[in-house]
């Protein structure tokens, strides 16, 4: 595992993001990782709860990148790439991970992982949940696991691969900036022109995927022209 990470393991915790936040406020250094076997108060995006029984990977990383806060949103795409690499390492060769804006990782159209980025003072907490053995069945979207796709993984093995891929993409981000990350993300997402619907807080907006703006905002071509969506989600189906 990459030397830039120090892992603090818990059998059970409320939320690894909350614990990482607490450590960050105490001054925990870049690369501090909180890993738990189970969460009792796992949190997802848009105030959803995150299904967190034993058998899956739950971790949160304290990042102090030294970059301006305006670049923080780029980390969400970088995290999605690291998770997609991990999933593809664990699954049979022919199965690909697909990315859905802003940072969902899908396998065969079903969500296999979630990413939650939070700012704490000058640190970013990057929380990642990866369904290894268990997936919730009561969600509005389809879900899946590594094992359901004939993948082979221990949770700790998945964690080590993920941290290695994260170290790799962080290093490339520092050296080459966002454009190559954006390019790799686009290669694993919808083709430009695909019909999608996006929820940006109000009514869902239908349109055609027009790629990502330089800062990672979703570009959607609608009947009213091109829209730039900075927060929200692309709806399933
Ligand atoms: C999403 O809604 O897609 C994001 C889910 C993020 C879940 C992870 S699990 C580890 C970390 N701790 C949390 O409470 N949430 C994140």
How does DSSP classify residue 58? Answer: E
CA 88 to chain centre: 15
Determine which residue's CA is closest to atom 15 belonging to ligand 1.
43
CA distances from 67 to 64, 72, 76, 122, 234 (A): 8, 8, 14, 10, 28
Tell me: pLDDT of 40 over 70. Answer: yes
Residue with tokens 């993984």: 153
For the Cβ of 34 lying below 6 angstroms from any atom of ligand 1, the answer is: no
Ligand 1 closest atom vs CA 18:
14
Question: What CATH number has the domain bearing residue 153?
Answer: 3.30.930.10
In a domain, residue 56? The reply is: yes
pLDDT confidence band for 236 (50 / 70 / 90): low
Determine which residue's CA is closest to atom 10 belonging to ligand 1.
58
CA distance 69 to 115: 18
For the Cβ of 116 lying below 6 angstroms from any atom of ligand 1, the answer is: yes
Ligand 1 closest atom vs CA 59:
10
CB 17 within 8 A of CB 32: no
The residues with which 208 forms a beta bridge, in sequence order, are 195, 221
102 preceded by a cis bond (ω within 30 of 0):
yes
Ligand 1 closest atom vs CA 41:
14
- Compute φ and ψ for 201, nearest 5 degrees: 110, -35
In this structure, the answer to whether residues 101 and 202 fall within a common structural domain is no
In this structure, the answer to whether residues 199 and 108 fall within a common structural domain is no
Tell me: pLDDT of 237 over 60. Answer: no
Residue 111 pLDDT = 96
Residue 1 pLDDT = 64
In this structure, the answer to whether residues 127 and 105 fall within a common structural domain is yes
CB 14 within 8 A of CB 39: yes
In this structure, the answer to whether residues 120 and 206 fall within a common structural domain is no
| CA within 13 Å, CB half, 22 | 8
Q: What's this model's pTM, rounded to 2 decimal places?
A: 0.95
Cβ neighbors of 66 (< 8 A, separation 6 or more) are: none
CA angle 211, 186, 180 (to 5 degrees): 110
Q: Which domain holds residue 42?
A: 6-187
Ligand 1 closest atom vs CA 52:
9
Give 50 Cα–ligand 1 centroid separation in angstroms: 6
How does DSSP classify residue 36? Answer: E
Number of structural domains found in the chain: 2
In this structure, the answer to whether residues 118 and 38 fall within a common structural domain is yes
The tokens for 113 are: 């992982």
In a domain, residue 34? The reply is: yes
For the Cβ of 103 lying below 6 angstroms from any atom of ligand 1, the answer is: no
In a domain, residue 16? The reply is: yes
Residue with tokens 């009947």: 223
pLDDT confidence band for 110 (50 / 70 / 90): very high
For the Cβ of 115 lying below 6 angstroms from any atom of ligand 1, the answer is: yes
Count of positions (residues) in the chain: 237
Residue with tokens 């109000």: 202
In a domain, residue 1? The reply is: no
For the Cβ of 131 lying below 6 angstroms from any atom of ligand 1, the answer is: no
Give 113 Cα–ligand 1 centroid separation in angstroms: 8
CA distances from 96 to 72, 106, 212 (A): 27, 9, 21
Could you report the per-residue pLDDT of 144-197, keeping only the tens digit for each? 999 999 998 899 999 999 999 999 999 999 999 999 999 999 999 989 999 999
Question: What CATH number has the domain bearing residue 204?
Answer: 2.30.30.100
């Amino acid at each position: 595992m990459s030397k830039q990470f120090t892992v603090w393991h818990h059998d059970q915790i409320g939320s690894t993001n909350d614990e990482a936040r607490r450590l960050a406020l105490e001054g925990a250094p870049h690369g501090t990782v909180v890993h738990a076997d189970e969460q009792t108060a796992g949190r997802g995006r848009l105030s959803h709860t995150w299904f967190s029984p034993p058998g899956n990977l739950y971790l949160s990383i304290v990042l102090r990148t030294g970059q301006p806060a305006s670049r923080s949103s780029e980390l969400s795409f970088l995290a999605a790439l690291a998770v997609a690499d991990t999933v593809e390492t664990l699954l049979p060769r022919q199965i690909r991970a697909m990315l859905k804006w802003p940072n969902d990782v899908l396998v065969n159209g079903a969500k296999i992982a979630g990413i939650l980025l939070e700012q704490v003072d000058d640190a970013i907490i990057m929380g990642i949940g990866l369904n290894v053995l268990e997936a919730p069945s009561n969600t509005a979207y389809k879900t899946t696991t590594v094992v359901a796709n004939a993948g082979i993984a221990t949770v700790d093995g998945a964690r080590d691969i993920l941290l290695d891929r994260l170290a790799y993409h962080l290093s490339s981000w520092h050296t080459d900036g966002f454009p190559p990350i954006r390019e790799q993300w686009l290669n694993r997402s919808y083709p430009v022109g695909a019909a999608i619907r996006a929820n940006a807080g109000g009514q869902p907006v239908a349109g055609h995927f027009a790629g990502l703006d330089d800062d990672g905002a979703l570009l959607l071509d609608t009947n009213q022209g091109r829209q730039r969506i900075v927060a929200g989600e692309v709806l399933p189906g």
